[in-house]
Amino acid sequence: MKLLITGMAGFIGHAVARRLSGNGHDIVGIDNLNAYYDVSLKQARLDDLSGCSDVRFERVDLADRDAMALLFEKERFERVIHLAAQPGVRYSLENPHAYVDANLVGHMNVLEGCRHHGVKHLVYASSSSVYGANDKIPFATDDNVDHPISLYAATKKANELMAHTYSHLYDLPTTGLRFFTVYGPWGRPDMALFKFTRAILEGRPLEVFNHGEMSRDFTYIDDIVEGVVRVLDIVPTPRGTSEVTTDTSTAPYALYNIGHGSPVSLMDFIHAIEKATGQQAICDFKDMQPGDVPRTWADTEALFAATGYCPSVSVEDGVARFVEWYRAYYGV
């Protein structure tokens, strides 16, 4: 199968490419290698894929309409895994235009490429952030998500709406995946696990927001990758003509949560890092940050029913694997 992976130098993109390599596909990965976080980590992920003869990389910006049109014209992808985006809730308060360029214009260019070149299935990243301050738990895809509390969340919800429109108008099968706090080796330096591990190993205090009164449905990278790979093979067909809900449609459109399904409190997460590093955290407790949410918890029943997806890695094991990778990668 000819596959496009956008955001291949990113945390999840790199892991998906690694997993799919060697399975008989012809994989093209793109990324603009922007400097939102350490570019050398993005480059190292690409270097890690350099031995995969079935994976090619091109530096392309999603927001470059002509370059994207040319890429789709030249390569004729059968399936697309669209993971490139400007992530991060907090940064969306600082630099909103980055989100419009990558997540709205970029997503549009991916949809257009798929529409004009007969792509058979587009799988794209949405986010648990769309649930905002939802107080019904666990979060289910038929919950109302019309009240985003960050621009990042608004762009991800917009991605789902845009995808639905293309599924309806052009019969483009699309599957959106709402990822829940992904963590693990090769992870993102702007996320809690990376920051906390670094601070603990350097003996610096860590900023703990909302005074530690938070919980997250932390999901290990290998479990996420397994879900993405399974979903890729389940091309949605129109479901139900009488009842149209958030996750069912008369169009070939699907939307799933992809999470572990069991929230962990922030303090327990920190204790897991303490255990894995063998060092004690110095916590600097702070108020809640604007745009942030107190808890996330994924209802993953629909994904399980469709794919048999069942996450298997506990936070304790996953954090230990991250710390092991971090120490080896940075030589500390």
Residues forming contacts to ligand NAD in the complex (CB under 6 A) are 7, 9-13, 31-34, 42, 61-63, 83-87, 102, 106, 125, 127, 179, 181-182, 188
- Between CA 186 and CA 35 the distance in angstroms is 16
Dihedral angle, C-alpha 222, 225, 226, 231, nearest 10 °: 160
- Using a 10 angstrom Cβ sphere, with 0-12 exposed, 13-18 middle and 19 or more buried, the burial of residue 96 is middle
- Least distance (Å) between residue 134 CB and ligand NAD: 15
**Cα(107)–Cα(174) distance, integer angstroms:** 12
CB of 240 closer than 8 Å to CB of 192: no
Q: How far is the CB of 267 from ligand NAD (least distance, A)?
A: 20
- CA atoms of 9 and 329, how far apart (whole Å): 16
DSSP state of 295: B
CB of 61 to ligand NAD, least distance (A): 4
Residue least distant from ligand NAD (Cβ): 10
Q: List residues with catalytic annotation.
A: 152
Task: Pick the closer one to ligand NAD by CB: 133 or 282.
Answer: 133
Least CB distance to ligand NAD at residue 51 (A): 20
Where do the DSSP E strands lie in the chain?
2-6, 26-31, 55-59, 79-82, 121-127, 174-179, 182-183, 205-208, 215-216, 219-220, 253-258, 264-265, 282-285
CB of 139 to ligand NAD, least distance (A): 13
- Amino acid identity of residue 83, one-letter, is L
Q: Which CB atom, from 57 or from 166, has the smaller least distance to ligand NAD?
A: 57
Q: Which is nearer to ligand NAD, 221 or 302 (CB)?
A: 221
Q: CB-wise, 127 or 249, nearer to ligand NAD?
A: 127
